A and B are shown apart, each in its own frame.
Chain A
Amino acid sequence: MSHLIDVQDLRVSYHSGGRVTEAVRGVSFHLQPGETLAIVGESGSGKTTVASALLGLLPTTARIDGGRLAVAGQDISHASERSKQRLRGRVVGLVPQDPMVSLNPTLSIGKQIGESLLLRHGKRYPGLDADVLELLEQVGIDNPALRAGQYPHELSGGMRQRVLIAIALAGEPQLIIADEPTSALDVTVQKRILDHLEQLVRARGIALVIITHDLGVAADRADRVLVMRQGEVVESGIAREVFSAPSHAYTRDLLAAAPAFGATPKPVPVETRGAAPLLEFDAVGKRFALPRGQHFQALQDLSLAVYPGQTLAIVGESGSGKSTSLRIALGLEQPSSGRVRFAGQEIGGLGWKQFRPLRQRMQLVQQNPFAALDPRFSVYQSVVEPLVSFGLLKGRELEQAARQLMEQVQLPASYLDRLPRELSGGQRQRVAIARALALKPDLLLLDEPVSALDVSVQAQILDLLRELQAELGVAYVLVSHDLAVVASLAHQVVVLKQGQVVEQGEARQVLEQPRERYTRELLEAVPGRRLAVA
């Protein structure tokens, strides 16, 4: 048989505490050498379980209940650990999900690449150093001789991901499995890395399996796709055909939910003429002092104005100063130069006590809904916390307010009794939004509100935010690196790069007719463009 991977009717279940969860139910697919397959699905769809099964790395609680799982002609569904180990590295390589934690912080990256070379070629491999440098060069790392001696903490996220790719390549595998290879990275870095991986794989004739929840990535990179849902294959076929003419309702829904694909809902237009700006930045700059008398200019000459009921988006990659500008607006950082006004009041030099009354009118929704709620607080306690802190309501009124807030974020009132760990990511983010709305603020600061969520959940949260704005007339400042998210919510856009404003203006104009090259680059990096253009 010439298939590199041949999976037939694979069934995997997890057994823990007497409970059985079927994670993969009758999945079949195959892969030819040199082909690229994308497995797409939301969290819990079983896509990572399939990948672990291919690598023979299923956790001990998992059991393969049936089916055939052949890699390079060898059935590994019930193979011994030794024979699976022989496959790993040499036949199947893995590019793990999170480059921040996937490298050993106590070994230089040269050593870590060398490790897998030694596994491949034996202990006394003479060409070790030369091969390490060659691999580093191949994955696009400049100055390999210097980099090989550096430790993971000295490299950026993108570079670490490249090192992980080099490690996977070192074993000269016939197949690379990339598990969400770029979801932790900026869009432009993501594009460069995926371009590079694609190129390397093509040049060496390696087959590639990309596990992703991002339909855009799948559409751009894969020859064939496999859409999974609750452990079952919903749809599979040639990527272009599946995405241009999806046959299953679920795929259509996924496509509709993905912000990158065509039918993005537009923000509700708001009339701002004659209104006074709610939040105003006037040539704001921020310098951080570094050791040895140096300075780091995090933000330079940022001027912006947010009007009531309107959304202003600040776009940029990590390190562009977009979070710093939010922290300045919240009074968590003091600006080094320039002026910040909220509702006409200067807030630049205010102390914590003087700022406190303003907090009733300005609230924050944080990036990571998994850490934004106190794990010991019930949803009720979390939601009403600001009301309790300001001593606004008591007893029955408080419960009434909690019920109303839950209705606003479209969660059932019975959820008020739950603890955060009993909620999904999207539900937690709804709770965080409810908490921010408790004080009925005029301005909501949204720090990457959907970047930690699945694509379809992202769409739901964005819909909710749009509805809340129309209903309550709240103004938003949205910080995001994802232009698709920005397009669906923002009236005005500010593009930041390394603390400087690149472009600024009406959302429609900036996103549809960008004047600056950097903005165009950002737009091109949004996954799914290839398909949209085609």
Chain B
Amino acid sequence: MTVLQRLIPVAGDAAPWRPRRRLQRLFDQAGPLLRRPGFVVALILVLFTLVAALAPWLFTQVDPYATQPSAKLLPPSALHWFGTDELGRDLYTRVLYGARLSVEAALLAVGLALLSGLGLGIVSGFIGGRVDAVIMRIVDVLLALPGLLLALAIVTAIGFGTIPVAIAVGVGIIPGFARTTRAEVLRIKTLPYVEAARLGGASWTSTLLRHVLPNAWGPVAVLATLDIGAAILATAGLSFLGFGAEPPAAEWGTLIANGRHFLITAPWVSLLPGLFLVLVVFSLNHIARTFEEIQR
């Protein structure tokens, strides 16, 4: 802007101005993201996994539990993309059906951690004082215990199965969410626009919902995306150790655990489900990193 343009011309729009729709703004923001090839590939893989988790029969016609002794431990081929296991079950199908339990467990874990972490962080950052001190010391104790050890202890206490494992993993990642949320709330609470909203007559609740939460949300959302990957790994780890789903049901951790007896003779039984798991976690990390980059 220069001095010469001191008088900004008031736009003589024929049509009076109307607010732009929220959806339109979302499209404007998503545009540049879709031009990154790495992001698109990662997004497609994650979407594929999500759809497979919801409706695995879309991608395969085979029954995941149908055994076929004549076709046991076959290497990957056009018929069996990931090969077959020791009972002749199609591994690709089992990985897809396994996605359901794994993704369910991971989402449950992250959802639990997100809700309680956000709640704790907001209460702690917003109220402050003694409440803050008490909550943060509890969080510190949780942080001091290694995540997998804590999850093992919880699973042993509340029983085996997919949902207990998810809860156990979720509790383990609460502290990260609580800490991040609290730090963001503390930062945003003091910003001039929050003060301006307060002076404009907004109550604390509406300031919290309209200004603090949406602006604190960014880093927390990145952490959530990142932690879905970590949660998938942790649930797989727990079910590998035998705390997860009961044998006939397919779950990524149990699939990998099954194959460890045939690592020399039929490595694909462990390695291909493992590779798929790694790819999904990588994709989630990549998406989280992209989100973090565009926020800066």
Contacts and interface: CB of A to CB of B under 8 A. Distances in A.
A375 B2 contact: no
Interface in B1-19: 1-4, 6-11, 13, 16-19
Interface residues on B, range: 20 to 34
A324 interface: no
A390 B203 CA distance: 10
Interface stretch (B60-68, B115-123, B131-139, B191-199): B191-199
A408 B10 CA distance: 11
B200 to A, nearest CB: 3
B214 interface: yes
Interface string B169-186: 000000000000000000
A389 B7 contact: no
A253 B1 CA distance: 13
A301 B197 CA distance: 31
A399 B211 CA distance: 21
Contact of A410 (B3, B10, B214): B10
Interface stretch (A165-173, A362-370, A488-496): A362-370
A327 to B, nearest CB: 10
B202 interface: yes
A253 B193 contact: no
B199 A417 contact: no
Interface stretch (A32-40, A131-139, A378-386): A378-386
Interface string A233-251: 0000000000000000110
A410 B202 contact: no
Contacts of B2: 42, 229, 250, 253, 456
A414 B1 contact: no
A412 B2 CA distance: 17
Interface in A381-418: 385-386, 389-390, 399, 403, 407, 410-414, 416-417
Interface in A416-442: 416-417, 424, 426, 432, 435, 438-439
B17 A360 contact: no
Contacts of B17: 399, 403, 413-414, 416-417
Interface string B43-63: 000000000000000000000
Interface string B1-42: 111101111110100111110000100000000000000000
Contacts of A463: 6
Contacts of A414: 11, 13, 17
B211 A359 contact: no
A410 B6 CA distance: 10
A330 B201 CA distance: 12
A330 B211 CA distance: 21
A389 B20 contact: no
B206 interface: yes
A410 B199 contact: no
B200 A372 contact: no
Contacts of A364: 195-196, 199
A450 to B, nearest CB: 14
Given A371-B191, A385-B202, A432 B11 contact: no
B215 A389 contact: no
A356 interface: yes
Interface residues on A, range: 35 or more
A254 B3 contact: yes
A376 interface: yes
B201 A412 contact: no
Interface string A189-218: 000000000000000000000000000000
Nearest to B214: A376
Contacts of B20: 378, 417
Interface in A8-36: none
A410 B8 contact: yes
A378 B18 CA distance: 13
A435 B19 contact: no
B201 A386 contact: yes
A163 to B, nearest CB: 28
Contact of A366 (B7, B195, B202, B203): B195
Q: Which of A253, A371, A378, A459 has the most CB of B within 10 A?
A: A371
A113 B202 CA distance: 49
Given A330-B199, A385-B202, A250 B9 contact: no
Contacts of A148: none
B196 A435 contact: yes
Contact of B11 (A229, A254, A371, A413): A413
Contact of B200 (A254, A371, A435): A435
B192 A363 contact: no
B200 A439 contact: yes
Given A372-B192, A414-B13, A399 B19 contact: yes
Given A360-B201, A410-B8, A416-B19, A376 B13 contact: no
A154 interface: no
A399 B16 CA distance: 10
19 contacts: A250-B3, A250-B4, A253-B3, A257-B3, A332-B195, A359-B201, A360-B201, A363-B199, A364-B199, A366-B192, A366-B195, A366-B196, A389-B197, A389-B201, A399-B19, A407-B10, A413-B13, A435-B196, A456-B1
Interface of A: 42, 229, 249-250, 253-254, 256-257, 330, 332, 356, 359-360, 363-364, 366-368, 371-376, 378, 380, 385-386, 389-390, 399, 403, 407, 410-414, 416-417, 424, 426, 432, 435, 438-439, 456-457, 459-460, 463
